[in-house]
Amino acid sequence: MKKILFGLLLLIISTTSIAQGKFVRQEFVAASIQNNRAGEDALRQLTVYLPADYEKGTQRYPVIYVLHGYGGNDSVMMSVWINFKRLLDEAIKTGKMRPMIVVAPNSDTKMGGSFYTNSTVTGNWADYIGKDVVQYMDKNFRTIPDRKNRGLCGHSMGGNGALKLGMLFADTFSAVYALSPAVLNWHGDFTLRSGGFKQISKLNNEEAIMKGLDQFDQTGDFNGFFAAVLTAMAKVYSPNASKKELLADFPVTYINDSAAYDQKMISQWEAQFPFFMVDDYLPQLRSLTALKLDWGRNEEFTHIPYTSLQLSKKLEAYRIKHFAEEYIGDHGNMLGGFEGRIFNELLPFFEKYLQ
């Protein structure tokens, strides 16, 4: 009897082992970021999930591209913050999704994030995802190299990026899912009255601004946090190589305590906000197989629930088919684990809508 039980145990362990996928970390030089004026490193990393038996077979797989949030990178998103491997292994094992390749590109910058936007200063970060990373994956892995088998998703800054790149590269990706997408439009804690703009004018130095970001977790000072975020945004939304300190123009500047608003810069920023981009990308949005966004009711960043609903209403007014959902949660507490949004919503979404 003991031998039988021991044999069954070995069988279970063996079966579990067979069902495990694995992470591989790759590096490549991204052509779209090379020779940028801000000194951003064009050598980029990818965290790639390969399903079980990938190396033993010849099968080709759909690919889900995952965009990380501000202040993160590929490995933090996939391994540290969310245990993607555990979720993917279980989802495939239980039939929530078929075996797929999942890849998170590193889009970190000196100021903490690229906002997935092309810039004459920091490099072309939209093209980096939509061209360089996709081409690298299709060349080096057994992908199914067509849009109907490519999904795009992201959280926070990455959710913004997923919506933006879903419009810019609708001929590359077919299904898009944005988790708690940030800075879709002005509202709440993200407005032209943000104390972050005043902090930027006061410091006018990358290192000093980033110190405020480093202290955010300890002090909870949102002005320091937004100073870093807004500087990162300025480098891609309104780059200006002649401004030697920050290489960017800003929609709001301060002289002592007086704010000056630059309408040209405000318009230039708004042209990059997904809420306003919708008007110019209706055919691309209609071409998507599926589009979804969700957000937490108890979100710490107060602009996210409002602007997510605002975007959904605009899509609805244009009769763009999509899904939009508010759930009970904050910016990140309901994402991971087997009770979370990634396992129960995002992965089944791509199972259904990728070909």
pLDDT at 14 over 90: no
Per-residue pLDDT of 319-354, as tens digits, reads: 999 999 999 999 999 999 999 999 999 999 999 999
pLDDT at site 15:
41
Task: For residue 172, give every residue at least 6 positions away whose Cβ sits within 8 Å of its Cβ, in sequence order, or none.
Answer: 130, 134, 147, 150
Average pLDDT, the chain: 94
Q: Which of 10-14, 80-84, 314-318, 333-337 has the lowest mean pLDDT?
A: 10-14
Tell whether the model's pLDDT for residue 65 goes beyond 70: yes
φ and ψ at residue 155, rounded to 5 degrees: -120, 135
Residue-wise pLDDT for 265-277, tens only, equals 999 999 999 999 9
- pLDDT for the residue numbered 16: 42
Using a pLDDT cut of 90, give the percent of the chain over it. Answer: 91
**pLDDT bracket for residue 87 (50, 70, 90):** very high
What global pTM score does this model have? 0.94
pLDDT digits (tens, 9 = 90+) for 201-260: 999 999 999 987 877 767 777 899 999 999 999 999 999 999 999 999 999 999 989 999
- Element holding 103 (H helix, E strand): strand 101-105
pLDDT at 79 over 50: yes
Confidence check: pLDDT of 17 > 50: no
CATH topology of domain 21-185+281-353: Rossmann fold (3.40.50)
- pLDDT at position 18 over 70: no
Kindly tell me if the per-residue pLDDT of 317 is higher than 80: yes
Q: What is the pLDDT of residue 213?
A: 80
Smallest Cα–Cα separation from 330: which of 309, 305, 312? 305
* For residues 3-14, average pLDDT: 39
pLDDT tens for each residue of 129-149: 999 999 999 999 999 999 999
Structure tokens at 202: 């006061």
* Backbone dihedral angles phi then psi of residue 139, each to the nearest 5 degrees: -80, -35
Secondary structure (3-state) at 114:
coil
CA dist 197 to 229, 243, 248, 321, Å?
10, 16, 13, 37
pLDDT at 1 over 50: no
What are the residue ranges of CATH 3.40.50.1820 in the chain? Answer: 21-185+281-353
* pLDDT computed for residue 217 by the predictor: 66
What does the pLDDT read at residue 5?
A: 39
Give the C-alpha distances (Å, rounded to integers) separating 283 from 40, 42, 78, 149, 318. Answer: 34, 32, 32, 20, 11
Work out the pLDDT band at 287, boundaries 50, 70, 90: very high
